[in-house]
Amino acid sequence: MPRIFNQYVSAQTFSLLAADVVVMTLSFLIGIRLRYLGDAELWGYYSEMPDFAYRIAVAIGVFIFCGYYNGLYSPRSFRGLTDQFFKLLQTLGFACFLLAMLYFLAPALRVGRGAFATGLAAVLLGVFVFRVFSDLWWRSVVQPETVAIVGDGGLAAETAHEIAYRRDLRMHIAGFIALRPLDVAVAGGEVEEARVLGPADNVEDIVKTHRIQRLIVADDRGQGLVPFKHLLKVRTRGIAVEDAHSVITSLTGRIPLNAVDSSWFLFSEGFRRSRYQSAFKRLVDLVLSSIGLLCSLPVMAVTAAAVKLDSRGPALFRQRRLGLNGQTFELMKFRTMREDAEADGVARWAEENDPRLTRIGGFLRKYRFDELPQFVNVIRGEMSFVGPRPERPEFVERLRTTIPYYDERHTMRPGITGWAQVCYPYGATEEDALRKLEYDLFYLKNVSILFDIAIVFQTVKIILTGRGR
């Protein structure tokens, strides 16, 4: 199964993306050809234009970019062909808006209005017709992969739950293979009796009978009950065998702390950061933050004025946070709460619809305007553009005693945005802190410049859709 940044990505996503590039290109060319069907001279002018292919590629690239942000390549979010059609219309509308601005700034990239209009109509028709056939293909022809989970405890149940949630991966769970005696396994209550295929000693027969294509070993007790001899036999016959910890990590983009120990961290792949990688990341941070600070100065000026007019107190808010290697620094942001939000001196997590928010505070948080001053923190070297979000020392003292491996998140500079923020955008309890740490550790395990770029794209998507807290 294909993976990107150690996460499962459905084959349908890849096929839709690749097909859209081909179908959009062909449809655009056909549309332009139809526009000049009776005018060989004008068609010859377009087809012989030196940068004609480049102009088409730019337009298609903008369409694909808008499709990504509008969920055209997220099969698990589809709610039928009607939903896909309206998403396609929205995508093309937004793409036209972006292209209009691009053509205004760079006239050399323009495609003629008539040619663009017919090309756009052809793209709409071509892509939607392909999606109709693609939907029929994935529903009727492509069979789901049959999976059995070797285990009968909480880890097995969690694995089944996460697989069921990722319907786009088309994995069918045939059932569970019990590691303990059947009566004990069923009495545990984590798995249903009707879904138990048999005991682990019969794994070879179970694989043949139920035509299992993939086995996922979910042993969360470590009692030596896993039938390695039998699993080796089915593995050498072509059946995929995976560890549940790795599967959950790839399914969810987080490391399940309830199912791993120190040895897993020591011997699993990842957690590699060279000096050159760190230096390059720092260089990118400086460049992006300097550009971001300069470009956002007008917005910051308006925001500061709005904060001052909205409520009493300073526009800029400074708060102690823990950064790299547990060093404290002053995080800067625009004030979004009343000046007396913590008048009693007790540190509190921000809550959804927090009553302490000012009238403009909710808007600033929703669209992340309050974070803009943190470009200064990045330039100072206290933060990075992407990384785990910095936490207050008061909360860290409590969390490091209740959550395992919590201090590992301080081995990297904290970020303006991060993997936990795009996957789990709101948190106000210790349980939320645990889940966000699982995402942070996944990021530390798979950190790379490309992963950072993907996180930035996801952050922009969240800002544009107003999904911030």
Over residues 290-323, the pLDDT tens digits come to 999 999 999 999 999 999 999 888 999 999 999 9
The two three-digit tokens of residue 364, written as one number: 């600033």
Q: Tokens 């995508």 sit at which residue?
A: 91
User: What sign does the CA torsion over 84, 85, 87, 88 have?
Assistant: positive
Summary mean pLDDT of the chain:
88
Are residues 415 and 450 located together in one domain of the fold?
A: yes
Question: What pLDDT does 469 receive?
Answer: 55
Q: Tell me if 447 sits within 8 A of 411, measured CB to CB.
A: no
Question: What pLDDT does 111 receive?
Answer: 78
The two three-digit tokens of residue 366, written as one number: 């929703």
Q: In this structure, is residue 269 part of a structural domain? A: no
The two three-digit tokens of residue 219, written as one number: 């042993």
Q: Tell me if 372 sits within 8 A of 443, measured CB to CB.
A: no
Q: Tell me if 202 sits within 8 A of 233, measured CB to CB.
A: no
Q: Based on the structure, what is the number of domains in the chain?
A: 3
3 state SS of 319: strand
The two three-digit tokens of residue 370, written as one number: 């309050």
Question: What pLDDT does 46 receive?
Answer: 64
pLDDT in tens, 361-378: 989 988 889 999 999 999
Are residues 37 and 136 located together in one domain of the fold?
A: yes
User: What sign does the CA torsion over 59, 61, 67, 70 have?
Assistant: negative
Are residues 180 and 231 located together in one domain of the fold?
A: yes
Distance CA 69, CA 458 (A): 8
3 state SS of 215: strand
Q: In this structure, is residue 114 part of a structural domain? A: yes
User: What does the angle CA 107 – CA 288 – CA 414 come to, to the nearest 5 degrees?
Assistant: 150
Distance CA 386, CA 444 (A): 11
Binning pLDDT at 50, 70 and 90, where does residue 467 land? low
Are residues 59 and 129 located together in one domain of the fold?
A: yes
Helix (H) or strand (E) holding 457: helix 449-465
pLDDT over 80 (residue 341)? no
DSSP letter at 301 equals H
Strand-pair partners of 178: 199
Alpha helices in 70-112 (DSSP H): 81-105
Q: Which domain holds residue 90?
A: 3-140
User: What sign does the CA torsion over 126, 127, 128, 131 have?
Assistant: positive
**Residue 301, Cβ neighbours under 10 Å: how many?**
11
Q: Tokens 């790839």 sit at which residue?
A: 250
Q: Tell me if 241 sits within 8 A of 226, measured CB to CB.
A: no
Residue finishing a domain among 140, 159, 175: 140
Most confident of 19-28, 39-48, 379-388: 379-388
pLDDT in tens, 196-250: 999 998 999 999 999 999 999 998 766 678 889 999 999 999 999 999 988 999 9
Are residues 151 and 63 located together in one domain of the fold?
A: no
Region 324-339: mean pLDDT is: 94
pLDDT over 60 (residue 468)? no
Q: Residue 175 maps to which CATH number?
A: 3.40.50.20
Are residues 232 and 248 located together in one domain of the fold?
A: yes
Are residues 234 and 149 located together in one domain of the fold?
A: yes
Helices (H) and strands (E) in the chain, counts: 18, 11
- Angle formed by the axes of helices 11-35 and 52-69, to 10°? 140
Are residues 242 and 319 located together in one domain of the fold?
A: no
Are residues 309 and 413 located together in one domain of the fold?
A: yes
pLDDT in tens, 98-149: 999 998 888 888 877 777 888 888 888 999 999 899 888 888 888 899 999 9
* Closest to 219 in 3D by CA, of 253, 251, 176, 183: 176
Percent of the chain with pLDDT over 70: 94
